C-alpha cells in the first residue's frame, strides 16, 4: 500500500477511512492466499470444513450481494441467486480454486466500480440509500457490513494459512 493511501486510511474523511480499511482487509486476504497451489487452497484443518478456496468463494458472494446484483427487485438472497442457500461457501461445479480466486478478484473490481459510481461528485453518498441493495440500506451500512465480513473471516484465513506454512 502506498504511504499516502495509508495516511488517508488513518486520517482522511469518513469515506477515505472506510474505503481504506476495506482495501486493507482485501489486501490481507490477497496476501494470505497468494502463491498457493490449487491443492493448498482446498486444504482445510481438522476442526472446520472451511478452506481458503471456500472462503474466497464466500467473499465473492458477499461482494456480489452488496454491490454486484443488478435487479433491485430481488428479495434478499433470492433462491435463484443463492440456489444452495449456502451464502457462497461451496465452489461452483467444475470451478478450480484458481478460478475461485479470480472470481473473488473480479467481484472486488465490480464492487469498487459501483462504489466509485455511488460516491463520484456526491459528498453525501455514504448516507444515501444504496440503489443496488433495493434502497434498503445506506452505502455506509453496506461498507461497514463488508468490512465486518472481511474482518471476521480474515482470522479464519490466517489460521488455515498457518497450517499450510508449517
The enclosing domain of 91 has a CATH number of 1.20.120.450
Mean pLDDT over the full length of the chain: 81
The whole-model pTM stands at 0.82
For 48-75, the pLDDT digits (tens) are: 788 999 999 999 999 988 887 644 444 4
Report d(CA 52, CA 49) in Å as an integer: 10
* Degrees, nearest 5: CA angle 129-22-42: 115
Domain that holds residue 155: 3-165
Report pLDDT for 56.
95
Q: How far is CA 116 from CA 26, 111, 112, 121, 153, in A?
A: 17, 8, 6, 10, 25
Number of structural domains the chain divides into: 1
- Beta-bridge mates of residue 138: 129
Amino acid at each position: 500500500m502506498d504511504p499516502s493511501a495509508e495516511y488517508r486510511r488513518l486520517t482522511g474523511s469518513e469515506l477515505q477511512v472506510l474505503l481504506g480499511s476495506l482495501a486493507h482487509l482485501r489486501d490481507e486476504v490477497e496476501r494470505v492466499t497468494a502463491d498457493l497451489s490449487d491443492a493448498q487452497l482446498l486444504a482445510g484443518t481438522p476442526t472446520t470444513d472451511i478452506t481458503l478456496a471456500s472462503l474466497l468463494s464466500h467473499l465473492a458472494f458477499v461482494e456480489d450481494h452488496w454491490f454486484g446484483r443488478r435487479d433491485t427487485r430481488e428479495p434478499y438472497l433470492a433462491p435463484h441467486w443463492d440456489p444452495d442457500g449456502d451464502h457462497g461457501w461451496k465452489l461452483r461445479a467444475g470451478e478450480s480454486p484458481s478460478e475461485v480466486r479470480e472470481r473473488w478478484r473480479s467481484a472486488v473490481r465490480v464492487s469498487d466500480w459501483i462504489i466509485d459510481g455511488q460516491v463520484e461528485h456526491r459528498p453525501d453518498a455514504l448516507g444515501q440509500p444504496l440503489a443496488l441493495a433495493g434502497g434498503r440500506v445506506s452505502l455506509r451500512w453496506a461498507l461497514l457490513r463488508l468490512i465486518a465480513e472481511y474482518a471476521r473471516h480474515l482470522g479464519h484465513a490466517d489460521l488455515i494459512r498457518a497450517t499450510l506454512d508449517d
